[in-house]
Amino acid sequence: MVLYRKMTPDDVEAVHKIELASFPTPWTLDSFHYEMRENPYAHYIVAVADDGYIIGFCGMWVIIDSAQITNVAVVESTRGQGIGEGLMREAIKVAKERGVESLSLEVRVSNIIAQNLYRKLGFQDGGIRKGYYTDNQEDALVMWVNL
């Protein structure tokens, strides 16, 4: 059983460890502290396993009636178990509760698994951001969904 809940400042270090293991150009620890303490637009959700360990997270910025998913990551050993989908469904629920009408994100053009998940949740292809990822200049696929 996985519990999904709002991220707190106490979760920052665990979330940052997942971030470091998941992305070639990870956000800094200070970035997550800023998100938790100072960014009024930031909303983060964590996935917590039965043993109390954080095994995934999803962040988004909500501005008026639109939201942008900033990052989604799941501990590698727990991938393929629906945790990413659970995080996204929870983010969509939170977005709707805050009056969001549209939700968008960027995903690597090579990340077909994530794209398939987002399409399953109703996201549509919106365009390409050329050279978006700084580690290898890979393009990003912009995806969006009306809520």
The pLDDT mean for the chain works out to 97
Token digits of residue 103: 């939700």
Whether residue 118 lies in the annotated active site: yes
Q: Taking phi first (over 0 means left), then psi (-120 to 50 degrees means alpha), and beta for anything else, what does residue 82 get?
A: left
Distance, C-alpha 140 to centroid of its chain? 15
The model's confidence at residue 38, banded by pLDDT at 50, 70 and 90, is very high
Provide the domain limits for residue 15: 3-146
**Catalytic: which of 118, 132, 133, 138?**
118
Contact 75, 21 (CB under 8 A): yes
pTM of the model: 0.94
pLDDT category of residue 77 using cuts at 50, 70 and 90:
very high
Answer whether 87's CB lies under 8 Å from 57's CB.
Answer: yes
Tokens (6 digits) for 99: 């009056």
Look at residue 36 in the predicted model and tell me its pLDDT: 97
Instruction: Give residue 3's pLDDT band: very low, low, confident or very high (50, 70, 90).
Output: very high
| Residue 132: Cβ-neighbour burial (10 angstroms; 0-12, 13-18, 19+) | middle
35 band by pLDDT with thresholds 50, 70 and 90: very high
Q: Among residues 4, 19, 44, 106, which one is catalytic? A: 106
> How does residue 30 score in pLDDT terms, banded at 50, 70 and 90?
very high
Structural domains counted in the chain: 1
State residue 23's pLDDT score. Answer: 94
Residue 95: give its domain's CATH number: 3.40.630.30
